[in-house]
Chain A
Amino acid sequence: MIKVENIDKIYGRFKAVDNVSFHIGKGEIVGLLGPNGAGKTTIMKILTGYHYPTHGTAMLNGYSIYDDLLKVKESTGYLPEMAPLYDDLTVIEYLDFMADIRKVPKSRKKEEIDRVIQECGLTPVVYRGIGKLSKGYRQRTGLAQAIIHSPDILILDEPTTGLDPNQIIEIRKLICDIGREKTVILSTHILQEVEAVCNRVLIMNHGKIVAEGTPETIRDQVQKDDRFTIEVSGLVDTNVVKALEAVSNILSTESIDGKTVIKISAPKGNSTGERIFDWAVQNGLRLSALVPEQTSLEDIFRKLTNQAGV
């Protein structure tokens, strides 16, 4: 659906996007993740035809952004970072305008406008002037505009900013529904959003893609070892703790409230869990907890975007 090949975008002396390539298939929801200024928005602007890349090409829905830009624009829906709304129009007038420009057939226009009003929860503000709407409603009106023509490709730049938690959940659910049949690419710096919505993540930093894959595969790439937190009742003799070194690296040992908490890391796939259990049994210890620790996407994100930077 979306095919991006070796795209560069240079603004004056600043290289906003540096040799980026990726493919996105139908029915995928892909998250573009990265710190501010990583080049996410620039990529979206290129995909929507607002900017041309300095080098490289992109194809959307089989149409090139150079040769068939109008076709590209017809098959995409776009919500920029700041919802593009006309303050002088009412919500319904705005949606009517977008439906006209997006070539929604006259016979289906009312039906489609009603659909997006429903889906984006705009019913209470339909006849209100956009200039008087709250940030949440503005964002939702922006989203309604992007999906009014049921585009094959939906491009959303930070779609949930300014929404309250309930609205965020609703909008994410909507995006998931759309993503079942259509292609969605969304940018965000909220990591839970990626885990909640996306099938695949592209992590960007300084204009480059630094990691790509499902949240799990990225985690595997970054996290080279398994980590466990072991909690044992009572105090543990230092020699007994040392015995653990046969299994793993000991990161820390501390006693809290009559419990000993040991943190270890071990190479992957070594059935470390079982071996810790054996160690406890052999030494007559009572395990009160054995918790495998997953590196959160947040840690991965920090790791990936810091090592390449500065």
Chain B
Amino acid sequence: MNIKGLIKKELKAYFNSPMAYLVVLFFVLSLNIFFFFFGQFFGKDTASMRSYFSIMPVLFILILPAISMRSWAEERKLRTDELLFTLPLSEFEIVMGKFLSAVILLLLMIVLTFPVPIMLNMFGNFERGAIIGEYIGTFLLGLAGLSVGQFISSRTSNQISAYIFSVVALLFITFIGQITMVINVPKIIDRLFSYLSLSTHFESFEKGIFDTRDFSFFAIITCLFIYLNVKVIKLKK
């Protein structure tokens, strides 16, 4: 697989510009500010990280598009897409190369949150399994969000519109289940909406429940958007 070279280049491009640092910094800071200050972790006095992870879906709506927006929009702006598609790489390899490098950035962000649970562990008796489950859920949520964002980036001509459209799209698919709280809809649609909603599936991870149905839901969303991305690129030929 020749995809390693591509991943290396993507990561270098991320970290040679201040963007990646800002995104990571913003993520870690705002997560902890929300958790400790607004969430009043110490005031609650419970040995649970649940509220830490319940911020993730909202934060990801803002953060993930900032990572994925440049994926294609930047290539198109620099006209390097022409180079990329004339290199001996298949469309799938190119899409995966880009996706995986974004995933590496996601992993880095997640790893940077580790100190908090590790430190809190000293204060009380936290349930390890729950925290691990919550992390897996966060990672899966991130994968789905990045694949959506990358797909949208392939359909837009610049980073700003890629970002805005991705935020709107993620907002929609994350909270589509909650729409029914505001508008009155038939029961069946209510159930459909809440099934399609990312936050519904994330919630069970948040509670520390590991359900293969939720796992496969995120996997399907991720694969679907990667597939669509490859398809869109092939069609453009």
Question: What residues make up the interface of A, taking CB atoms closer than 8 Å to B?
Answer: 45, 48-52, 70-71, 73-74, 76, 78, 80, 82, 84-90, 93, 97, 100-103, 129, 145
Contact = CB atoms under 8 A, between A and B. Distances in A.
B111 interface: no
Interface string B76-88: 0011111111111
Greatest chain A CB density within 10 A among B2, B79, B83, B90 is at B83
B13 A101 contact: no
A84 B83 CA distance: 6
A102 B13 contact: no
B89 A101 contact: yes
Contact of A103 (B8, B82, B83, B88): B88
A88 B6 contact: no
A48 B80 CA distance: 14
A40 B4 CA distance: 34
B12 A88 contact: yes
Interface string B180-199: 00000000000000000000
B231 to A, nearest CB: 15
Contact of B237 (A50, A85, A86, A100): A50
B2 A84 contact: no
A50 B82 contact: yes
Nearest to B89: A101
Interface of B: 2, 4-6, 8-9, 12-13, 16-17, 78-90, 237
A150 to B, nearest CB: 14
Contact of B88 (A50, A74, A87, A93): A74
Given A87-B78, A88-B16, A52 B88 contact: no
Contacts of B6: 97, 101
A301 B207 CA distance: 75
7 contacts: A52-B237, A78-B83, A78-B86, A82-B79, A84-B81, A85-B80, A86-B78
B2 A100 contact: yes
A101 B16 contact: no
B16 A102 contact: no
Given A45-B82, A78-B86, A101-B87, 5 more contacts: A49-B86, A73-B89, A84-B78, A84-B82, A100-B8
A97 B16 CA distance: 14
Contacts of A45: 82
Nearest to A82: B79
Q: Which 3 A-B pairs have the closest CB atoms?
A: A100-B5, A84-B83, A97-B9
